[in-house]
């Protein structure tokens, strides 16, 4: 899958990465749309004290659930979802 990977200030690269394995309480989302917000811009220009590069860049997206962990109760494959953009999403992966 392709992902925007942050390596440092003003250094974001589109790369092929492995599709992540999900935990029992997680879902895997195939992204259909992604946004760039003010936080992304600030992080691109200044970095972020809580995130150590390299990491997959971005946290605002919508898509379809393609895999569901064993302990997930309220989501199913095929559901359309949008990320909660008012809280930080630490592990975000994109699937193409």
Footprint of Zn ion (CB under 5 A): 37, 39, 60
Q: State phi, psi for 33 to the nearest 5 degrees.
A: -150, 145
Spatial strand order of the sheet with 80-82 comes to 27-34, 61-68, 80-82
* Three-state SS at 16: strand
- Tally Cβ neighbours within 10 Å of residue 78: 9
Residue 43: which H helix or E strand, with range? Answer: helix 38-46
Least distance between Zn ion and beta carbon 77 (Å): 26
Least distance between Zn ion and beta carbon 51 (Å): 13
Least distance between Zn ion and beta carbon 59 (Å): 6
Residue 34 or 39: the one with the smaller Cβ distance to Zn ion is 39
Shortest Cβ contact with Zn ion: which residue? Answer: 37
Residue 39 or 47: the one with the smaller Cβ distance to Zn ion is 39
Residue 39 or 44: the one with the smaller Cβ distance to Zn ion is 39
């Amino acid at each position: 899958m392709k992902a925007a990977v942050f390596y440092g200030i003003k250094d974001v690269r589109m790369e092929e990465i492995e599709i992540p394995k999900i935990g029992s309480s997680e879902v895997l989302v195939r992204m259909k749309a992604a946004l760039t917000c003010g936080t992304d811009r600030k992080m691109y220009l200044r970095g972020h004290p809580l995130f150590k590069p390299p990491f997959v860049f971005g946290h605002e997206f919508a898509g379809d659930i393609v895999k569901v962990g064993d302990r997930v109760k309220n989501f199913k494959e095929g559901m359309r979802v949008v990320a909660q953009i008012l809280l930080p999403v630490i592990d975000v992966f994109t699937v193409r």
